[in-house]
Amino acid sequence: MKPVEITKDVFWIGAVDFNKRNFHGYSRSPHGTTYNSYLIRDEKNVVFDTVDNDYAGAMFCRLAKALPLEKVDYIVVNHTEKDHAGALCQLVERCKPEKIITSVTGKRFMEAQFDTAGWPIEVVKTGDSISIGKRSIHFVDTKMLHWPDSMVSYIPEEKLLISNDIFGQNIASSERYADQYNQSDLLHAIKEYYYNIVLPFSPLVLKTLDAVAAMNLDIEIIAPDHGLIYRRKEDCAFIVDTYRKLAEQKPQQRAVIVYDSMWGSTGKMAAAIMSGMVDEGVPCQLIDIQKNHHSDVMTALADCGAVLVGSPTHNNSILPAIADVLTYMKGLRPLNRVGAAFGSYGWSGEAPKHIQEWLAGMNIELPAEPLKLQFVPRHEGLVQCRALGVTVAQALKAKCGTNAAC
């Protein structure tokens, strides 16, 4: 397990988790993930973040091949979540650092999670910097991207930004750099990560991107704590531009229709609705939630300006899998969408109304009343479904206007 030298005396010493499938307990990571830790060798040797505790051995192996453990002088903790700080206690115990550098909230969170008695914790804030010899480290608070303790570290002499969770992806690969990876797969992984983790903080993303731009930082390498490293200036520009577009959430002329179906009737409704939208010039993706995960819905929503949700009525309400999707989506707070609710029923029919209320609570524009059909939809009902698709498609196109993204 060799460390990877990014630039002279700057190393990746992280770990690759090829088997991770459930990231943070709520989002899929179908391609695994990485826990990125970094080392800079200088007059003062610095480790940035650690790894999940299950992969501490890999990190220590790589670190030891670059530097004797007792020669680590400083540890920078950009974030205290367990996939970043899982091996922190071991690192402190084995290295006995002079300083452990973190944000104001990072100190508080460390003290709440670990036994920090005797730890030499030093707090920094935006604008603070330290010299480590030939290099310096400049710190920028990035509160709520995606935890209150979050910060990033910038090393101007290397034009390197160690970006914490920002700009990450869940990719497990033997490649370390974004330019080595299939670009379509990379973009999908970026969207998947953003829409399932970073999305609710989009206004802060835009504010932070503007603030960093105002600092005129010369950045040619971006090293996130998950996934691949951007080592070329054009790759750095690509990920920053991609994040801005994702955060802006401008409507796109595409739709996702997610549904659950007990005996197939709501599924037939979904297909008819899709027919109306496609005929109106709006591409659609159908997601049967019984065969997919709620994070797949959010990933699809990254490219969609419309979301339509269907469920049969069950115990005067919606099926549990759709309740799960709506709860998850509401927490992630998507903006600038249109939508609709639909579903079949046997004798009461409350589900579409409940879904409509959920969507309205997310400030999703609803151009039509919820549609419900009793038992198996017949021709007349399927015509209604198609008409609903047309109505939502027209509303989406009107919302997009002349937007090039549409």
Q: Is 24 a catalytic residue?
A: yes
Q: Which residue among the candidates 42, 49, 141, 165 is catalytic per the annotation?
A: 165
Q: Which of 147, 151, 196 is nearest to 169 (CA)?
A: 196
Q: Which residue among the candidates 31, 79, 84, 293 is catalytic per the annotation?
A: 79
282 three-state secondary structure: coil
- State how beta strands 151-155 and 15-17 pair: unpaired
Q: Is 146 a catalytic residue?
A: yes
Amino acid at 370: P
Q: Which residue among the candidates 31, 146, 294, 314 is catalytic per the annotation?
A: 146
Q: Which residue among the candidates 84, 226, 293, 314 is catalytic per the annotation?
A: 226
Q: Which residue among the candidates 81, 141, 225, 365 is catalytic per the annotation?
A: 81
CA distance 167 to 5: 20
Q: Is 354 a catalytic residue?
A: no
Q: Which strands form 4-7's sheet, in the order they lie side by side?
A: 4-7, 10-12, 38-40, 46-48, 74-76, 99-103, 121-124
Q: Is 293 a catalytic residue?
A: no
359 three-state secondary structure: helix
C-beta neighbour count of 382 within 10 angstroms: 18
CB neighbour burial string for 232-243, b if at least 16 within 10 angstroms, e if fewer? eeebbebbbebb
Q: Which residue among the candidates 35, 38, 154, 193 is catalytic per the annotation?
A: 193
C-beta neighbour count of 167 within 10 angstroms: 27
Q: Which residue among the candidates 17, 49, 73, 83 is catalytic per the annotation?
A: 83
C-beta neighbour count of 105 within 10 angstroms: 17
Q: Could you give the residue numbers annotated as active site? A: 24, 79, 81, 83, 146, 165, 193, 226
